[in-house]
Structure 1
Amino acid sequence: MVNPSRGVLYPARLPQFHRLPAPSSVADLVAWFWIPEWDIEPGRSSRQEVVAYPALNLVVDADAVTLSGATTRLSHRDLRGSGWAVGALLRPAAVVALIDDPSSLVDAERVLDAGEVVADLRRAVADAMEAGEGRRERAVEAVSRWLEKRVGPVGEPARQANAAMEVLMGDGAALTTEEAATRLAVSVRTLQRMTHRHVGLSPAAMIRRRRLQEAAQRVRDEPGVDLASIAAEIGYADHAHLTRDFQAVLGIAPRVYRSETRG
C-alpha cells in the first residue's frame, strides 16, 4: 500500500487517520479504505488540506453517503466537534455502477439519493463505528458488502480500466500518456476514452496529479534531497517546472512548503 500520508499536505495536523486494505471480495472495486476520526475541542477546528488522488471516493459519515469526484486542485475540510468518516477510494471498475458521467463530478461531490438501499448502508456503517474495538474493520466490511452487491461481476472492460489506473498511478507509473498506452497495448485515443469514462479526467491530468502528490511527499519527507533532483526523478522538465506546478495548485513554493513542514 502507498505511504499513508500521500496526498495529505500537513500530516502532523491529522486527527486519527487509518488506511485499511480492501477485502479480497472487493479488490477489483476499491484501492483502499480511509477512516479519519476526530474529537476537536469546542471553539477550535482542524483544517485538513489534501492533494486528492485522481479517482472517485465513496464516503459514508453519520449524516450521508456521498460520491466525491476526482479533483484537479487543492481541497480542504475543516473538522469541528467529534465525528468520523469511512471512505473507499474507488477503482474504475466500481465507478460505472455508481455514476454515468464521472466528468460531471470533477472537483465536486454528490449526496447519493437517500433511498432505502443507501440508508441501509449509512446505518450499517454507523452501527459498526459505534461498536468499539474492531469498529473500523466492521465498517469496511459493511461498505464492501454494499459495493459488491451494487456493482456485481466485473467484466473485461472494467478490468482493463483498472489496469490503466495502475499504469497511471501505481508503483513505477508511466511518465507520459504515450508510455501508458504502450504498456497497455492500446492507442492513446482508447486510453483517453477509458479514463474519461471511468474517472472523468484525461490520462495527462491524472499523471500531473500523481506527480504533484509525489513531489509534495518527497519535498516534505526528504529534506536532504535537493529540489532539482526530485523534479528530474518524477518527470518534471526541471526545477522551475516543479515550482510552477506547486504554486499553481498549492499556492506555495516547494521551498516554503519544505520549511513549513519541518517546523
Structure 2
Amino acid sequence: MEEQWRGLLYPARLPAFHRLLPPDPLRDRFRWVWIPEWDLAPGKVSRQEVLPFPALNLVVQEEGVSLSGPATRRSFRDLAGRGWAVGMLLRPAAVPVFTDDPGGLRDAEIPFHAPDLHTAVMAAMSCGAGGAGDDDDGARRRDRAASTAAEWLEARVPVPTAEAEAANRLEDLIQSDRELTRVDQAADQLGVSVRTLQRLARRFVGLPPLAMIRRYRLQEAAERLRGNTELSIAGVAADLGYADHAHLANAFREVLGFTPSGYRRSAAQQ
C-alpha cells in the first residue's frame, strides 16, 4: 500500500505492522485497519514513535477498547512482552457516532464501551495465534480481525450525510494535493467558504483545517527525509510549500521536537 509507513517515524523498529484496506462500501467511514503485533524478549522494550494522522482512532487491545482523539504532536508507545492491537483510522464522516466534540479529545485516549467488539476481535486474534511473524496463519488472523471490526462499524455508523461527505472531501483534498498550503485554497477548490471548512473540521475532525494541512505536509516531509537521503532538506521544503528550509525546521521542532537533519540521522541509524 502506498501509505503503508505514513505517520510512522521509525518503521524499522516495528516487529510487525500491517494496514488493511476496508471493503469498498466502507471507505467513506474508515481509512484502514492497522494491526501491530510483537513478541519481544524478556526485558526488551521497543519504543514506537508516531506522527499521527489528523483523525480519530478506535483501538482494540487485550485490556479493552479505546478512542484516541486527534493529536497535535508526536506520540509514542513502549512495547514489551507479547501483544497486539487492532485499530481503525476513522474517516471524518464516522466521528459524530463516537463523539459530539472531537476537539475535546485532542491528545487524549479514553476508554470506549464496546464489549461486543472487544470479544469478537479477541476471538479473531486468538484463533491460531502464533508469533508476530508474517506467516499464513498470521495473515488469516489479521484478515478475520479486520473483517470483524469492519462488520461492527458498518452496523453502527450510517451512510454519510451530505455534510459528512463534505468533511470527507476536505480530508481527501488535503491529503492528496501536495501543493495545498492555505485554507482559502481548499475552500476555493471545494466551492465553499472558509467558515464552512472551519465548521466541518471542528465537528468532524476536532482540529482546524490549517492544522490538518500542516500535518499531512509534515508527514510527507518526514517520509521523504527518511526514504531518500539524496533529497536536500531545502528541496523537500520547497516541494511541499514551505517558504524555506527554516520554516520546515520550525515545523519539525514545534510538532516533533527535533530538526529535519536530526530526524534524518536518527532514522538512518534504525
What pairs up with 1:20-39 in 2 under 5 angstroms? 20-39=20-39
Equivalent-residue separation in structure 2 for 1:210 and 1:173 (angstroms): 11
Equivalent-residue separation in structure 1 for 2:209 and 2:97 (angstroms): 21
Deviations 1:62-81 (A, max 9, x none): 11111101111010000011
The TM-score with structure 2 as length reference comes to 0.93
Question: Which residue of structure 2 aligns with residue 121 of structure 1?
Answer: 117
Determine if contact 1:25/1:148 at 8 Å carries over to the other structure: no
Equivalent-residue separation in structure 1 for 2:34 and 2:97 (angstroms): 21
Tell me if 1:169 matches 2:165: no
Tell me if 1:197 matches 2:203: yes
Q: Decide which moves more: 248-257 or 40-49.
A: 248-257
What pairs up with 1:252-263 in 2 under 5 angstroms? 252-263=258-269
Give the C-alpha shift of residue 171 in structure 1: 5.0
Pick closer, same or farther for the CA change 1:150–1:173 going to 2, 3 Å.
Answer: farther
Question: Which residue of structure 1 aligns with residue 5 of structure 2?
Answer: 5
Question: Which residue of structure 2 aligns with residue 183 of structure 1?
Answer: 189
Equivalent-residue separation in structure 1 for 2:198 and 2:70 (angstroms): 15
Equivalent-residue separation in structure 2 for 1:5 and 1:154 (angstroms): 28
Aligned partner of 1:209 among 204, 211, 215:
215
Tell me if 1:232 matches 2:238: yes
Deviations 1:22-44 (A, max 9, x none): 11232110111110000111111
Equivalent-residue separation in structure 1 for 2:217 and 2:178 (angstroms): 12
Determine if contact 2:179/2:240 at 8 Å carries over to the other structure: no
Q: Which amino acid aligns with 2:105?
A: L
Pick closer, same or farther for the CA change 1:137–1:3 going to 2, 3 Å.
Answer: same
Give the C-alpha shift of residue 139 in structure 1: 0.7
Question: Which residue of structure 2 aligns with residue 84 of structure 1?
Answer: 84
The TM-score with structure 1 as length reference comes to 0.95
Deviations 1:236-263 (A, max 9, x none): 1100111111122222111122122223
Tell me if 1:111 matches 2:111: yes
Determine if contact 1:41/1:81 at 8 Å carries over to the other structure: yes
Pick closer, same or farther for the CA change 1:175–1:76 going to 2, 3 Å.
Answer: same
Deviations 1:141-162 (A, max 9, x none): 1111111111123221111111
Determine if contact 1:71/1:107 at 8 Å carries over to the other structure: yes
Unaligned runs of 5+ in 1: none
The 4+ residue runs of structure 1 with deviation greater than 3 A are none
What secondary structure, in the 3-state scheme, does the structure 2 residue paired with 1:71 have? coil
Tell me if 1:154 matches 2:164: no
Identity %, equivalent residues: 52
What secondary structure, in the 3-state scheme, does the structure 1 residue paired with 2:97 have? coil
Q: Decide which moves more: 63-72 or 166-175.
A: 166-175
Equivalent-residue separation in structure 2 for 1:26 and 1:108 (angstroms): 26
What secondary structure, in the 3-state scheme, does the structure 1 residue paired with 2:18 have? strand
Give the C-alpha shift of residue 9 in structure 1: 0.9
Paired residue total:
259
Aligned partner of 2:227 among 193, 212, 221:
221
What secondary structure, in the 3-state scheme, does the structure 2 residue paired with 1:31 have? strand
What secondary structure, in the 3-state scheme, does the structure 1 residue paired with 2:172 have? helix
Unaligned runs of 5+ in 2: 129-136
What secondary structure, in the 3-state scheme, does the structure 1 residue paired with 2:58 have? strand
